[in-house]
Amino acid sequence: MVDQVRIAFGTGIVLGLWRGQLAVAPTTAHLLTYYEGRCNANCKFCPQAKGSRADLRMLSRVVWPRCEFERVIAALRRNGGKFHRLCVQAVNHPNVIDDICEIVTRVKEACRLPISVSCQPLKRPDIEKLASSGAERISIALDAATPEIFDRIKGSAAGGPYRWHEHLRALDDAKRVFGDRVSTHLIVGLGETEQEMIEAIQFLHDRGITIGLFAFKPIPNTPLAGRAQPDVLSYRRIQLAQYLIKQDLTDVKHMRFNNGLVVDFGVNPATLQEVVDSRVPFMTSGCPNCNRPFYNESPLGPMYNYPRRPTPSEMATIRVQLGL
């Protein structure tokens, strides 16, 4: 029985659970399962990880206060219409499937938002259970671009339970159950090259998986607290490559790299210009209507994912960053 959940701070403001200022309102409501204790996994960037000493109210740079589930349900009845989607994120803990299914079922009774679930790799019967409970989409976060980085950051070398091939197996099973409503998350800045990240994007796109791209954010008291955020110029090129691949305007085979840096996107200049002018490649990516404002950057910048279309002056900065 779910008594408590965690709510992303900005989501709580829009729901009217507490007061605060928002530079940009979230378009997706974010809930996190509440568990007394740490996650069973040990992803080195995560404040929830079993080996971390970080504040358990944190996920990335965002605070997620604990709240009674009944209060959240009542708030969703009143204010759920202010969002376009709801995302249930889960830490890896015993009974996690039952907890997620209960949350999804209750949320569906309270409002009509499509529901994404972001969770650990599950066995196929549990994926089917999630679908039957009413989840619209599932996301299983790969986070790392290569098997080696995955192992170092989330797998056996990190003292964690996850294995690259198991994540891919779960994503394939999720595809069989959820069709084209399957996502993963990738984090730029865990030690990969641009080429490796773009190859991972192509590999996942070819498997029909939607990608939410994030920038690594160091969190105090995690093993990666001292690691720098990725270079914004590099992140911009990866965002652009991701969008071009997603739209089938290019393929990593047609791109050129020099020392791991992309030097040619494999599209003609007019197409590139048109895509950049649309401003969409630089916005938060992932499930439809998920803008996750300032999830991996301060509103003061530097900006990685724009939670809305960049303004003309922000576009001028982006063009300089891309060398256009």
Closest to ligand SF4 by CB, 84 vs 319, is 84
Nearest approach in angstroms of CB 198 to ligand SF4 is: 19
Residue 85 and residue 117: Cα distance in Å, rounded?
Answer: 11
Nearest approach in angstroms of CB 88 to ligand SF4 is: 8
Amino acid at 204: L
For residues 115 and 136, the answer to whether their CB atoms sit within 8 Å is yes
Phi, psi torsion values for 237, nearest 5 degrees: -65, -40
Closest to ligand SF4 by CB, 46 vs 290, is 290
Closest to ligand SF4 by CB, 87 vs 187, is 87
Q: Is 286 in the site for ligand SF4 (CB under 6 A)?
A: yes
Q: Is 28 in the site for ligand SF4 (CB under 6 A)?
A: yes
Site for ligand SF4 in 115-174 (CB under 6 A): 116, 118, 139
List, as one string, the DSSP characters of 112-137.
---EEEEES---HHHHHHHHHHT--E
Q: Which residues contact 257 (CB under 8 A, 6 or more apart)?
A: 194, 195, 263
Q: CA dist 70 to 1, 13, 184, Å?
A: 12, 17, 30
For residues 222 and 47, the answer to whether their CB atoms sit within 8 Å is yes
Nearest approach in angstroms of CB 270 to ligand SF4 is: 31
Among 8, 287, 303, 318, binds ligand SF4 (CB under 6 A): 287
* Nearest position to ligand SF4, beta carbon: 286
Site for ligand SF4 in 211-230 (CB under 6 A): 212
Q: In 170-311, where do the E strands start and end?
A: 182-188, 210-215, 256-258, 261-264
Site for ligand SF4 in 86-115 (CB under 6 A): 87
Closest to ligand SF4 by CB, 118 vs 195, is 118
Closest to ligand SF4 by CB, 214 vs 265, is 214
Helix, strand, or coil (residue 183): strand
Which positions touch ligand SF4 (CB under 6 A)? 28, 85, 87, 116, 118, 139, 183, 185, 212, 286-287, 290, 292
